[in-house]
Amino acid sequence: MNHADLPVTSPETPLCSGEALLAAVRALAAGPLAGRAEAIDRGAYPKDLLQELAALGAMSAHLDSPAGPGDYGLAIRAMAEVSRVCGATGFMMWCQVVCGLYLQQSGNAALTGAVLSRHVRGDGMGGTGLSNPMKSYAGIEELLLKATPVPGGYVVNGSLPWVSNLSGDHYCGAIAAVQGSVAEGESGTRELMFLLRCDNPGVTLRRCPGFSGMEGTATFAVSLKNHVVGVKEIIADPARPFIARIRAGFVMLQCGMAVGVAQGSIDSMLAVEARLGHVNQFLDDRPAALQAELDALTDCVMKLALTPMDESPVFFARVLAARADGAELCLRAAQSALMHQGARGYLMRSPVQRRVRESHFVAIVTPAIKHLRKEIARMAEEETSA
Ligand SMILES: Cc1cc2nc3c(=O)[nH]c(=O)nc-3n(C[C@H](O)[C@H](O)[C@H](O)COP(=O)(O)OP(=O)(O)OC[C@H]3O[C@@H](n4cnc5c(N)ncnc54)[C@H](O)[C@@H]3O)c2cc1C
């Protein structure tokens, strides 16, 4: 189905829009979120704050609504405002945001109606288990979930090692390899994308081993044992055309995290400039230089955000490059913030050392820098040989 043909199915008109939305998000980030960022890093899941962000419209700005087509630029800027203060919460915004994208783009009336409305309001919450499929499509690893066709749907088995923003009644988008989907002599495979509801039979959430940060992201290993997926849960069958449509949006939305964590790092450098500028001037990656790079990257992302559903390989390559630049800038900015702040930034309660770990996460979450570079190299090779 063409994106333009999809019914507009985000019924609630958000409380705020445009600059008013960003101002409200900024106030929430600077107030209650800033006070809890350290606790979130250590394991406190901020469900109430995520629901407040949902109520503001910060996690549905990218969705088409009666007010008009989705605004990806606004969604990314809202995520950046949150990530500037707390990378973990910014990441959970992304989880909720892409899950909303899956629901709306599914074109399945069982998912685009009340389910999407609840999701937009933050009454329903969810995430995405697509790291493994994205790596599988890039030839990095095998698909971990297997779907066996049965009358009326599929039975799915397997497990995903980590999926965030989950809880007993939450859900996530997932992809499984359909068994026996390829007849003898045919090449290729078929995959099924579905909404995995954590409270459905055959689904078990297991706690992950401790992470070095981002502990409040409600990240679980999800095991499926003879889990039945019916037509009401199907997001896309086959999944590949759907992934081709949403992959640019999926990746570009993550730039909100990168921009925010980098901006927070620059803020920390400027905070000590009056006192330590006399010696910090000898450091690399000074705040003005990083800010210029970040502004240029933000401009680039805002331009890409104008056409999130562009399926062309050229466009996707530009999105991958922006995401890789964002991750690399984030690493450099967080590292430099630590150099600028010195021992203050090394204190366990300092946002500076927390941001170093958040920047590492931006660099390793799928698509990780190595994954991005592999895809960019593959696309460049394809273009040369075309
Ligand atoms: C805090 C956190 C939250 C995450 N949230 C999500 C999410 O919401 N959705 C999602 O799909 N993915 C999530 N991931 C996974 C993430 O996107 C990456 O896929 C993951 O970090 C591995 O990527 P990689 O490039 O290092 O994989 P590779 O280096 O290619 O590693 C290969 C595979 O080995 C597995 N592996 C390596 N070490 C271990 C280990 N000690 N235990 C178990 N498995 C291991 C990994 O799963 C990986 O897929 C999360 C990861 C973290 C750390």
95 in contact with ligand 1, CB cutoff 6 A: yes
6 — pLDDT class (breaks 50, 70, 90): very low
Identify the pLDDT of residue 9.
Answer: 44
Is 105 a pocket residue for ligand 1 (Cβ < 6 Å)?
no
Decide: residue 300, CB within 10 A, 0-12 exposed, 13-18 middle, 19+ buried: middle
- Checking if the pLDDT of 233 tops 60, the result is yes
Please determine, for residue 13, whether its predicted confidence score (pLDDT) is greater than 60: no
Q: Over 70: is that where the pLDDT of 187 sits?
A: no
d(CA 59, CA 96): 7
Whether ligand 1 lies within 6 angstroms of the CB of 315 is answered as: no
Mean pLDDT of 291-301: 98
HSE of 202, CA atoms in CB hemisphere, 13 A: 13
Atom of ligand 1 nearest to the CA of 129: 11
State pLDDT tens for residues 134-171.
999 999 999 999 999 999 999 999 999 999 999 999 99
Rounded-to-integer distance, Cα 370 and Cα 352, Å: 25
Distance of CA 306 to the CA centre of its chain: 18
- pTM of this structure: 0.94
pLDDT number for residue 180: 85
Question: Helix or strand or coil: residue 261?
Answer: helix
- Say yes or no: CB of residue 253 within 6 Å of ligand 1: no
Strands 153-163 and 146-150: antiparallel
Ligand 1 neighbour 366 (Cβ under 6 A): yes
CA distance 194 to 55: 26
pLDDT at 16: 66
Among the listed residues 191, 207, 94, 198, the one whose alpha carbon sits nearest the alpha carbon of residue 145: 191
Give, in degrees to the nearest 5, the angle at Cα 322 between 320 and 325. Answer: 110
- Strands 171-178 and 126-128: what pairing? parallel
> What residue type is assigned to position 171 of the chain?
Y
Residue to mutate (ligand 1; options 131, 222, 364; most atoms within 8 A of CB): 131
By percentage, how much of the chain surpasses pLDDT 70? Answer: 94
Ligand 1 atom closest to Cα of 213? 1
Angle, CA of 258, 262 and 266, to the nearest 5°: 170
Which candidate, 168, 231, 158, 243, places its Cα nearest to that of 195?
231
Ligand 1: distance of its center to the CA of 269 in Å?
31
Q: Does the CA dihedral 71-75-76-77 come out positive or negative?
A: positive
Compute the distance from residue 161 Cα to the ligand 1 centre, in Å. Answer: 7
> What are 319's two structure tokens?
């999105």
- CA separation for the pair 36, 32 (Å, rounded): 7
- Give, for 92, the enclosing helix (H) or strand (E): helix 87-106
Would you say the CB of residue 131 lies under 6 angstroms from ligand 1?
A: yes
DSSP 8-state secondary structure symbol assigned to residue 165 = S
pLDDT at residue 67 in the model: 83
Whether residue 161 has its Cβ less than 6 Å from ligand 1:
yes
- CA 259 to ligand 1 center in whole angstroms: 22
CA distance 63 to 10: 7
- Atom 44 in ligand 1: which residue has the minimum CA distance? 161
Could you tell me the two tokens for 332? 């450099």
Q: Write the single-letter amino acid at 232.
A: K
Q: Number of C-alpha atoms within 13 angstroms, CB side, residue 235?
A: 32
Structural domains of the chain ordered from first start: 3-125 (1.10.540.10), 131-238 (2.40.110.10), 254-385 (1.20.140.10)
pLDDT at 3: 38
For the stretch 312-370, pLDDT in tens is 999 999 999 999 999 999 999 999 999 999 999 999 999 999 999 999 999 999 999 99
* Distance between Cα 175 and ligand 1 center (Å): 16
> Can you tell me the distance from the alpha carbon of 145 to that of 82, in angstroms, rounded to the nearest whole number?
33
Nearest to 235 by CA among 60, 107, 338, 383: 107
**Taking the CB of residue 244, how many other CB atoms lie within 10 A of it?**
13
Instruction: Identify the pLDDT of residue 15.
Output: 55
Q: Could you give the dihedral angle defined by the CA atoms of residues 68, 72, 73 and 78, in that order, rounded to the nearest 10 degrees?
A: 100
pLDDT at position 386:
76
Report the distance separating Cα 187 and Cα 359, nearest Å: 40
Q: What's the 147 CA to ligand 1 centre distance in angstroms? A: 22
Whether residue 130 has its Cβ less than 6 Å from ligand 1: yes
H or E stretch at 39: helix 34-42
Q: Are 365 and 131 in contact (CB under 8 A)?
A: yes
| Burial (CB count <10 Å: 0-12, 13-18, 19+), residue 382 | exposed
Q: How does pLDDT run across 67-108, given as a tens digit for each residue?
A: 889 999 999 999 999 999 999 999 999 999 999 999 999 999
Establish whether residue 129 lines the binding site of ligand 1, counting it when its CB lies within 6 angstroms of any ligand atom: yes
Contact 62, 101 (CB under 8 A): yes
pLDDT for 183 equals 55
CB of 219 within 6 A of ligand 1: the answer is yes
Span 20-51, pLDDT tens digits: 999 999 999 999 999 999 999 999 999 999 99
Compute the distance between CA of residue 3 and CA of residue 311 in angstroms, rounded to an integer. 11
